[in-house]
Amino acid sequence: MREGGSLAETLESRLAEWSRRTGVRVEIWALPSSDAPAPIARAVLAALDEALANVEHHSGASIVSIAVTVGRGGLRMTVSDHGRGFDPARTGPGIERMRTAFAAAGGSLSVNSVLGEGTTVTGVVPRR
């Protein structure tokens, strides 16, 4: 996270910078209204970076939608695009890095993709 910044501010800044650099439009559906513990925030940022790299290098999407929420049940991150999609049985190292980041924070990550339709990555860290 940025020094002194909230998770929401860090996400907003990172997403704006990524969109400017790549030309892919970012729709922000939700940002957290409260902060998450540092290990969870780091996991979300690491997974988000991987998800955005996959969008940039593999999806061909012109828009990516992002939602990160923190509530009583814990934290949820969703990254969704309407790009090329892929065969979920053939995942690469980026998806494994996202899964590892969420697992290290006590959470899990799922990836749903349909060829020609797009991909949705959802990470959840339940409140302990």
Name all domains of the chain by residue range, CATH numbers in brackets. Answer: 7-115 (3.30.565.10)
Distance CA 59, CA 110 (A): 17
Task: Confirm if 121 and 87 have CB atoms less than 8 A apart.
Answer: no
> Which stretches of the chain are DSSP H helices?
7-22, 38-54, 93-104
φ and ψ at residue 68, rounded to 5 degrees: -130, 120
Q: For residue 61, what pLDDT is reported? A: 94
96-109 residue pLDDT tens: 999 999 999 999 99
Is residue 113 over pLDDT 60?
yes
Is residue 1 over pLDDT 70?
no
**Prediction pTM value:** 0.90
Is residue 89 over pLDDT 90?
no
